Amino acid sequence: MSRTSPPLGIAHFSCIEMRPADFVDLAGQVGYASVGLRLHPAFSGAPFYTLAPGSAEMRQTKTALRQAGIGVYDIEFVVVDGAFSPTNLSAVLDSAAELGARRLSVCGDDPDNGRFVANLSALAELTAAVGMAVDLEIMPWRQIGTLETAVRAVAATRMTNVGVLVDALHLARSGGSPGDLIRLPPSMIRSVQLCDAQAERPEDTAALIAEARGGRLLPGFGALPLGDLLGVIPQDAVISVEVPKGAEPGEVHLRALFDATTRILHTRRSAA
């Protein structure tokens, strides 16, 4: 990546079949500055990896990080629903701390808003104890499905280590726009995930989920207002890309993602 471009991270979901050490190694070769790692299932049956402190898998991943010269930005992905208990994440947070991860990504799916805010606050306290923060991601098919509801929930925690993760696809499909971010304090948005998509919004919930998990496009290959989004996010927000791969080899996909995203970043910087 050019020295004039902001550093770019990549989400594990972009190539989830790769075990963490191999994913880190390839990300470093391509030029990414950081990775997200999927150490918790995002939904029932979803793939994830266990990196127990002191295990061979943990040692291999830490070696790959050191050799690649990159870091772990966030750990994914936790659904905070009605059955959620913050203490159940102790093992994941232990692994995250050993990896030096900076943030934990969650979504909200509890119909009881008071209970959700209490759990989010408790989770923020647990992550703070290991030097981490929490990002609440909007997902239009969940209870926390819009930027407005996410911002209200984060504000209600009164915790300084909780923010809103803005995913370009979810922002658009929830009816939001880049302009909605302008009124927010810069501290609210610490993390941004890029991808692209067709202009048409899927008709129902099942189609929304299918698009998010298997229908994203490389940045610049769709109709989302990515340039506008990059123009309003805080300058120090961490940018990553998340587009699950198709049948192509992992290296081909990660390089295509990197090239497409850096073109968008260069274009935006040149226009600024």
Q: Residue 154 and residue 184: Cα distance in Å, rounded?
A: 12
Q: Residue 89 and residue 84: Cα distance in Å, rounded?
A: 10
In a domain, 206, yes or no: yes
Radius of gyration for the alpha carbons in the chain, expressed in angstroms and rounded? 17
In a domain, 2, yes or no: no
Q: Which residues pair with 192 in a beta bridge?
A: 166, 239
pLDDT score, position 270: 57
In a domain, 3, yes or no: no
Which DSSP state fits 217?
B
Tell me the mean pLDDT in the region 220-241: 96
Which DSSP state fits 110?
-
Q: Residue 222 and residue 195: Cα distance in Å, rounded?
A: 9
Q: What is the CATH number of the domain that holds 129?
A: 3.20.20.150
Domain count, the chain: 1
Domain carrying residue 18: 8-271
Q: Residue 140 to residues 10, 97, 169, 188, 251: CA-CA distances in angstroms? A: 22, 30, 10, 19, 31
Q: Residue 167 and residue 180: Cα distance in Å, rounded?
A: 13
Tell me the mean pLDDT in the region 70-96: 96
In a domain, 169, yes or no: yes
Question: Residue 77: left if φ>0, alpha if ψ -120 to 50, beta else—which one?
Answer: beta
In a domain, 107, yes or no: yes
In a domain, 263, yes or no: yes
Band the pLDDT of 266: cuts 50, 70, 90: confident
pLDDT score, position 272: 55
Tell me the mean pLDDT in the region 164-176: 98
Q: What is the pLDDT of residues 173-221, one digit of tens each?
A: 999 999 999 999 999 999 999 999 999 999 999 999 999 999 999 999 9
In a domain, 257, yes or no: yes
In a domain, 134, yes or no: yes
Q: Residue 99 and residue 87: Cα distance in Å, rounded?
A: 19
